[in-house]
């Protein structure tokens, strides 16, 4: 760690602490230093030296950096720079001061309360906004890049303390001429969040990400992943064969219109699913705002603060009663 800190110091980065660490890489919070006491908080994603030496992995990491460099959208974590130090590649990225959706779901489980359905729908609607942008992205010559994220799951969704919702980690995304495409050989993505076409090792398109969005939305509403079992094989079998439940029966307070959206997004035949992320976004926003004022970034921010506060076990009840603490102050500000 001290060796890494020293090297990054020479590049005018001050490592603050480790955000996450896995077998292939590490993510740090850092300060990017500049002239005149300039300082900017960033995240640094560093791949381990042994993986930097593997050409296929290295090329995929570089491909990810090239892919996301021009993905500039409020619902996607932005990448600023790709660099290399002592044989290790790294990316500097937007630092999101907040929590993962996985943390958000876990906190509700710990405090024995359901996630408010409209907040769950709002979060997924913002992810659909980011995906719609990414799916439609073209190169400088106007050619569609054909981006498919392929790994939409709660760990890759960030909730900023200000209420912004951001999709991150395009590490196994595919795109025209940019990313290594191994479809048909291995399964890309986490088993419990795969689309049926991913589970069958078929070539995917943007509609695969929408099935994954439905899984995440259902997980927020039910506090469990309906497909997940103890083994990857059984989980993939459920994705292909498990009867999609009536979500109103599983959660009686759920608006039937949200069940309709889930049933549409969960179509295993992708020709019967939402055909674009924009289509799914529109359906969610009609549900959220069709009859009046609905969730906003500011409301989500206040709810997160309440959820992780002293009286967290009643956060969902207060939300249902329209009593989210701090909201009035935020709106006046």
The verdict on 117 and 154 lying in the same domain is yes
Structure pTM? Answer: 0.91
How many angstroms separate the CA atoms of 159 and 216, rounded?
A: 14
The residue from 269, 289, 309 where one domain ends is 289
What one-character DSSP code corresponds to residue 93?
A: E
| pLDDT (tens digit per residue) in 4-21 | 777 787 778 999 999 888
Total structural domains in the chain? 2
Q: How confident is the model at residue 330 (pLDDT cuts 50, 70, 90)?
A: very low
Average per-residue pLDDT for the chain: 90
Q: State the average pLDDT over residues 190-207.
A: 93
Amino acid 56: pLDDT: 77
pLDDT above 60 (res 331): no
- 185: exposed, middle or buried (C-beta count within 10 Å: 0-12, 13-18, 19+)? exposed
Residue 142 resides in a domain? yes
Interior CA angle at 253 toward 301 and 241, to 5°? 95
| DSSP line for 60-86 | HHHHHHHHHHT---TTB--EEEEEEET
How many angstroms separate the CA atoms of 283 and 12, rounded?
A: 46
| pLDDT (tens digit per residue) in 182-191 | 665 555 678 9
Q: How many CB atoms lie within 10 A of CB 48?
A: 16
Q: Looking at the annotation, which residues are catalytic? A: 151
Residue 327 resides in a domain? no
Give the domain extent around 172.
Answer: 98-289
How many angstroms separate the CA atoms of 124 and 127, rounded?
A: 5
Measured between alpha carbons, how far apart are the two ends of the chain, in Å? 41
The verdict on 165 and 181 lying in the same domain is yes
Tell me how many helices (H) and strands (E) the chain has. 14, 8
The verdict on 88 and 113 lying in the same domain is no
SS3 138: strand
């Amino acid at each position: 760690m001290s060796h890494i800190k020293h090297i990054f110091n020479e590049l005018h980065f001050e490592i603050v602490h480790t955000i996450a660490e896995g077998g292939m890489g590490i993510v740090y919070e850092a300060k990017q230093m500049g002239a005149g006491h300039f300082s900017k908080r960033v995240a640094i994603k560093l791949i381990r030296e042994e993986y930097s030496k593997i050409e296929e992995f290295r090329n995929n990491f570089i491909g990810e950096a090239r892919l996301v460099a021009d993905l500039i959208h409020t619902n996607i974590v932005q990448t600023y720079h790709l660099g290399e130090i002592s044989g290790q590649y790294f990316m500097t990225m937007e630092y999101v001061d907040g929590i993962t959706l996985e943390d958000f779901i876990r906190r509700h489980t710990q405090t024995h309360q359901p996630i408010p359905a409209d907040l769950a729908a709002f979060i997924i609607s913002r992810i659909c906004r980011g995906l719609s942008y990414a799916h439609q992205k073209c190169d400088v010559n106007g050619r569609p890049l054909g981006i498919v994220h392929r790994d939409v799951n709660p760990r890759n969704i960030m909730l900023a303390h200000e209420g912004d919702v951001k999709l991150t980690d395009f590490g196994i995304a595919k795109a025209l001429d940019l990313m290594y495409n191994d479809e048909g050989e291995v399964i890309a993505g986490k088993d419990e969040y795969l689309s049926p076409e991913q589970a069958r090792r078929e070539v995917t398109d943007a509609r695969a990400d929408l099935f994954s969005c439905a899984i995440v939305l259902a997980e927020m509403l039910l506090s469990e992943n309906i497909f997940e079992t103890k083994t990857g094989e059984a989980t993939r079998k459920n994705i292909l064969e498990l009867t999609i439940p009536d979500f109103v029966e599983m959660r009686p307070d759920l608006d039937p219109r949200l069940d309709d959206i889930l049933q549409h997004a969960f179509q295993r035949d992708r020709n019967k699913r939402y055909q674009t992320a924009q289509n799914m976004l529109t359906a969610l926003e009609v549900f959220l705002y069709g009859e009046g004022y609905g969730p906003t970034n500011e409301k989500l921010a206040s709810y997160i603060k309440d959820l992780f506060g002293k009286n967290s076990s009643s956060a969902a009840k207060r939300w249902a009663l329209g009593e989210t603490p701090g909201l009035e102050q935020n709106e006046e500000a």
